[in-house]
Amino acid sequence: MGFALNTECGQFHPQLIELAKAAEKAASQEYSNYHELSARNHQKVLGAFRTLGVTDFHLHGSTGYGYGDLGRDLLDRLFAKVLGAERALVRTHIVSGTHAISLCLFGVLRPGDELIFATGKPYDTLNKVIGDGPAEGYPGSLMEWGITCREVELLPDGSPDLAETVKAISSRTRMVAIQRSRGYQWRPTLSSGAIGEIIARVKKTRADIVCFVDNCYGELVEAQEPTECGADLMAGSLIKNPGGGIAPAGGYIAGKAALVEQVAQRLTAPGLGAELGATLDTNRLLYQGLYFAPLVVQQALMGAVFAGHFFSSLGFEVSPQAGEKRSDIIQAIKLGTRERLIAFCQGIQQGSPVDSHALPEPAGVPGYGRPVIMAAGTFIQGSSIELSADGPLEEPFIAYLQGGISAEYVKLAVLHAAQRMFDQGLLNPMLRII
Ligand SMILES: *Cc1c(COP(=O)(O)O)cnc(C)c1O
């Protein structure tokens, strides 16, 4: 694959283009892994559409109560099949990944129960769900309902501490939660296999503990999903991987049928469960999004691989490193200073199709307890399967880059980011060859 930058060359420093070409060359060997993965996942998805007999009728939605919405019901079965789960619940009524995760916690846990996070501090937006705030717990949080939470710290190398997790289990432990992706942490993402190992250890200690996985950013990045490796329940966002950049909003839950049923009762109301919920005109977009997802995830992975090589060649530490196995679509880049992080995110925004003239600034965002900067020049607000970059304004100022409907667009945006840093004198000492 060539690096077709000729028409755009004028806007980038020639040295940056040279480095981009070299990065592209180095990355192309890794791309082949993702061609293979993508081919497998295309087969998996098409197979599910064919086996379940998706018809034109299913693509149309319902209004009002949404009784008898066969398109909605078949979409649940389609997701379950692709994710290797007994049952799934796929809804635009789930407002975000955080909501999907929160539904799983409140759907399963009861007063007096304990939840253990086996992967250290959970993602920022879960702090208030758990209860962070006043002593009696943030209003409506698990803590306020008398559900306690323990976090088992990761080992120094960022891997989960299995021995401590097992030790933390008590008679009150009802659920062990595992976060697959890195969140805002400099740690490796957990593969489905590694998640399976944690689950096996937990189940050996007490088979009735519910093992839950926050699968955000992990869908279709490997041939197997956590639900195929022992997870009882799993959640994710439709404006990340499985929405394929097409789903306009929503989230999903997948796992054991009885647990998904409990979550459905929590999503709507006891007695209503999954049988209500008008889909309006969204069914087609959710079907189409899943259909596109294997391709879009592949493009995002290729973009991430390129960005890793490119920023590594500029002298920055990156994670994953070249050649490292990936289990999510995130490329983390340690930028070292506040100015660089801001310039990077602003450059990504400038290299985006929507709001390219807006300059993101660090700010408070609901659910995030610390200032963050977020670039998302996306067609769907905040969609991070579309190209986006963000990070907390904290040492060591790491940018988390993810998504991109097409790897070529990722490359251009990454060049814009580097160019902006260069223009502000934030890159110069590192551009060795200039
Ligand atoms: C994105 C993400 C979430 C949920 O975020 P939302 O913005 O609420 O969709 C949760 N956990 C992880 C690890 C994530 O990456």
Give residue 128 CA to ligand 1 midpoint distance, Å.
14
Side-chain-side CA neighbours of residue 399 (13 Å) = 31
At residue 7, the pLDDT reads 46
Ligand 1 atom nearest the C-alpha of 214 is 11
Give residue 129 CA to ligand 1 midpoint distance, Å.
13
CB burial string 265-285: b at 16+ within 10 A, e below:
ebbbeeeebbebbbbeebbbb
Show Cβ contacts of residue 358 under 8 Å, excluding neighbours closer than 6 positions.
349, 377
Mutate to test the pocket of ligand 1, among 119, 121, 123 (most ligand atoms within 8 A of CB): 123
Give residue 366 CA to ligand 1 midpoint distance, Å.
13
Q: CA 312 to CA 167: how far, in whole Å?
A: 39
Give residue 10 CA to ligand 1 midpoint distance, Å.
37
Q: CA 207 to CA 336: how far, in whole Å?
A: 44
Give residue 288 CA to ligand 1 midpoint distance, Å.
22
Mutate to test the pocket of ligand 1, among 95, 98, 154, 219 (most ligand atoms within 8 A of CB): 98
DSSP string, 47-76: HHHHHHT--GGGGS---TT-TT-HHHHHHH
Mutate to test the pocket of ligand 1, among 130, 216, 385 (most ligand atoms within 8 A of CB): 216
Q: What is the pLDDT along the chain (434 residues), one digit of tens a residue?
A: 345 555 455 699 999 999 999 999 999 999 999 999 999 999 999 999 999 999 999 999 999 999 999 999 999 999 999 999 999 999 999 999 999 999 999 999 999 999 999 999 999 999 999 998 888 889 999 999 999 999 999 999 999 999 999 999 999 999 999 999 999 999 999 999 999 999 999 999 999 999 999 999 999 999 999 999 999 999 999 999 999 999 999 999 999 999 999 999 999 999 999 999 999 999 999 999 999 999 999 999 999 999 999 999 999 999 999 999 999 999 999 999 999 999 999 999 999 999 999 999 999 999 898 899 999 999 999 999 999 999 999 999 999 999 999 999 999 999 999 999 999 999 965 565 44
Q: DSSP secondary-structure letter at 180?
A: -
Nearest Cα residue to atom 4 of ligand 1:
97
Nearest Cα residue to atom 2 of ligand 1:
216
pLDDT tens track for 236-286: 999 999 999 999 999 999 999 999 999 999 999 999 999 999 999 999 999
At residue 134, the pLDDT reads 84
Structure tokens at 412: 């251009």
Q: CA 297 to CA 358: how far, in whole Å?
A: 26
Give residue 32 CA to ligand 1 midpoint distance, Å.
28
Give residue 29 CA to ligand 1 midpoint distance, Å.
30
Give residue 390 CA to ligand 1 midpoint distance, Å.
12
161, amino acid identity:
D
The whole model's pTM is what?
A: 0.96
| Rounded alpha-carbon distances, angstroms, from residue 80 to 49, 57, 227, 285 | 12, 20, 9, 17
Nearest Cα residue to atom 5 of ligand 1:
97
